[in-house]
Structure 1
């Protein structure tokens, strides 16, 4: 392996792989360095995969990707100690492709598939790799300190796609250490149940003639579901399991001395919830940090020889829509486009690479973040509203 390539991406999540896929498709020599044993091994997402960007990258993904279910119903519930007030929305349109671009996935499976598609185009995915820091020449980033046997690697552009746990970005002073109120903790369990039980219990069609992707539902819970804190709980249906979790601000969990696992157990044992989980077996438990600062806390995204994308850049819509996957993929694509332009010019200055920031500003990514920029503050002041 050469120690100099066109682009090095740190992180094989949705943003990093979308960037690598776009670059590899254009013939760019790109390496993706991933801490986990494989892409997806360290990813936790108790949410829905929004596929507007994926559908443009890989139009045939519905036939190939390890999708669990498409979301045909969205249900919102407000819980008190023993009561549920619920609102449900569904439409026949969601039963038809592209299914409102909303699906449940298991990231361990999906991310490996997505990374594999990038590898097919020529991207090199390196799992089990720890990056200790960045290499600088003056103010320009030129490489990474890695623990590979080959030693340090160099590239024209380095892309940070570390996710919310941005160890390198924080170590290098590229983003401040996150404040408690700007971070949320998501605790999630995967609970297995037979497919037929899930479909009967959640009133989902088992009609196989509708295609290879079955119906699913997304259920969001507020109020006593999270003991009155700013956040929500959720249940998402997979083929033969449920993704069950809670998400609350780190600040409130610390102030109220509530352990995320205990908060999840409280939700699971609510009288309006426990019957939905009855006889299920917990197969996996995990917790994950997500940025909650929104529009007002975006990092500086372009420097000389360096771009920051996805959750690492704070690109998460913290409203009821919980957008993250589509914003991450979009940022990866826009970063790749800026890099390709820089490669043509042979100029990797911040001025050239800042076309990435311009693309974000002119897209739905920043538009959505700006639209819901007051949502975190509203929740902090009046958690009872959400």
Structure 2
């Protein structure tokens, strides 16, 4: 790149949001540069591994035919775990096989590079191995997609420093097992995949939970826990992963696996209430940098929000270019489009969810109650039979009674 070369827009961050924005702008006729600090786009991206495909279909129709996906998710699992037990739910149905827009397990290092390559094919200049630590916004236009801890947005005064209660640390291992072993242990056929979310014991009752995603020949296994909770229990973050892998309900699935990758990253947890300023003169913030992540417990939504918001950011820049006006007022069309999209509708619907989780009820009391209830239901020793409603009342009585149940219901309603 020569010192005289000019661009209509520069995207900082080669993750899904950044590449989506760059691709959308290139298709709109803009000269775009995509800057990534890693050796290649995806080199620094280590998040869990599930992509809901609907938002990417708008950019790359039928992307799964060419993208490096691992498996199509056809099996959902959810477990409430105590130290010695787990109440688990498993859902398999033709409904999952026949979705118009399926979800997929992906390895971000491969997948992000593929999407950046798609942008490059459209004319985007991809510059890797470059760290951007300062911005001079004059005639240039910048889209910030530089991840959860967007220091550039902070330096511009668009984003506050992260609060410990609003951000979590995620730790992930990629464990090689082989395709046939995974298929046998999870009851899958080639190309089919499972997503398994776990609450309770893996984090020692801290805010957060565990996850397992089946890749083609490996498992993505990890935990996420809120930073403000670290030190609350006598379990270190790396030990939480070991705790989950050694749990009786998980150990048979990872047995004999070989560690292929170990990584950690930050995850936003605060939802809408921690969302930064999205536009300024010449600047748009998108994806993880804009805190666009929603953790619902049974699933985590981040990648599809990143791609959609990145695409909309790119389209907003194209509109601004046509007007030759990159002021905050002109770029505010980005916020208008976001408000009409599933991104902000989802963020607004669950804006109170983080507050519901702060008392640890879901991570301590609920798994304990589930274990106690299941243990009584399946206990058959020849004594007097007990009706299910009475078992439920007994469990409630041992765990705060109806007041506790009504309190949980009230909080759940407020979270929605």
State the TM-score, normalized to the length of structure 2. 0.84
Tell me the equivalent position of 2:257: 280
Structure 2 counterpart SS, 1:178: coil
Superposition deviation, residue 91 in structure 1: 1.5
1:301-321 CA-partner distances (Å, limit 9, x unpaired) = 000010000000111112223
Looking at structure 2, the residues matched to 271 and 297 of structure 1 have their Cα atoms a distance apart, in angstroms, of: 37
Tell me the equivalent position of 1:165: 149
Structure 2 counterpart SS, 1:170: helix
Structure 1 counterpart SS, 2:9: strand
Tell me the equivalent position of 1:52: 54
- Counterpart mapping for 1:128-207 below 5 A: 128-135=129-136, 141-142=137-138, 155=140, 157-206=141-190
Tell me the equivalent position of 2:379: none
1:103 matched to 2:104 = yes
**Compared CA separation, residues 372 and 97, structure 1 to 2 (3 A):** closer
Looking at structure 1, the residues matched to 321 and 155 of structure 2 have their Cα atoms a distance apart, in angstroms, of: 28
Report if aligned partners of 2:49, 2:108 keep a CA contact under 8 Å in 1: no
Superposition deviation, residue 174 in structure 1: 2.0
Q: If each structure's strand is expressed as a fraction of its own residues, which one has the higher value?
A: 1
Give the total of aligned pairs: 361
1:330 matched to 2:308 = yes
Report if aligned partners of 2:10, 2:142 keep a CA contact under 8 Å in 1: yes
Tell me the equivalent position of 2:75: 73
Looking at structure 2, the residues matched to 188 and 5 of structure 1 have their Cα atoms a distance apart, in angstroms, of: 37
Looking at structure 2, the residues matched to 30 and 257 of structure 1 have their Cα atoms a distance apart, in angstroms, of: 49
Superposition deviation, residue 257 in structure 1: 5.7
Corresponding residue to 1:342 among 315, 320, 323: 320
Looking at structure 2, the residues matched to 90 and 372 of structure 1 have their Cα atoms a distance apart, in angstroms, of: 26
Report if aligned partners of 1:133, 1:172 keep a CA contact under 8 Å in 2: no
Structure 2: which 5+ runs fail to align? 368-416
- Counterpart mapping for 1:203-222 below 5 A: 203-206=187-190, 214-222=191-199
1:244 matched to 2:228 = no
Tell me the equivalent position of 2:14: 12
Which of the two has higher C-alpha Rg?
Answer: 2
1:192-225 CA-partner distances (Å, limit 9, x unpaired) = 001100000110024xxxxxxx000001111112
Looking at structure 2, the residues matched to 310 and 9 of structure 1 have their Cα atoms a distance apart, in angstroms, of: 12
Per mean C-alpha deviation after superposition, the further-off stretch among 195-204 and 220-229 is 220-229
Superposition deviation, residue 172 in structure 1: 3.0
Report if aligned partners of 2:15, 2:42 keep a CA contact under 8 Å in 1: yes
Superposition deviation, residue 173 in structure 1: 2.5
State the TM-score, normalized to the length of structure 1. 0.91
Superposition deviation, residue 244 in structure 1: 0.1
1:130-189 CA-partner distances (Å, limit 9, x unpaired) = 112011xxxxx22xxxxxxxxxxx62x101000112122223322111000000111000
Superposition deviation, residue 95 in structure 1: 2.0
Superposition deviation, residue 4 in structure 1: 2.2
Report if aligned partners of 2:279, 2:332 keep a CA contact under 8 Å in 1: yes
Structure 2 counterpart SS, 1:378: helix
Looking at structure 2, the residues matched to 377 and 117 of structure 1 have their Cα atoms a distance apart, in angstroms, of: 39
Structure 1: which 5+ runs fail to align? 136-140, 143-153, 207-213
Looking at structure 1, the residues matched to 308 and 356 of structure 2 have their Cα atoms a distance apart, in angstroms, of: 27
Looking at structure 2, the residues matched to 87 and 266 of structure 1 have their Cα atoms a distance apart, in angstroms, of: 20
1:292-348 CA-partner distances (Å, limit 9, x unpaired) = 110111100000010000000111112223100111011111111111111011111
Structure 1 counterpart SS, 2:149: coil
Q: What is the RMSD computed on CA atoms of the aligned residues?
A: 1.4
Report if aligned partners of 1:236, 1:244 keep a CA contact under 8 Å in 2: yes
Report if aligned partners of 1:75, 1:220 keep a CA contact under 8 Å in 2: yes
Report if aligned partners of 1:81, 1:224 keep a CA contact under 8 Å in 2: yes
Looking at structure 2, the residues matched to 85 and 378 of structure 1 have their Cα atoms a distance apart, in angstroms, of: 22
Tell me the equivalent position of 2:24: 22
Superposition deviation, residue 273 in structure 1: 1.0
Corresponding residue to 1:294 among 263, 267, 271: 271
**Compared CA separation, residues 37 and 317, structure 1 to 2 (3 A):** same
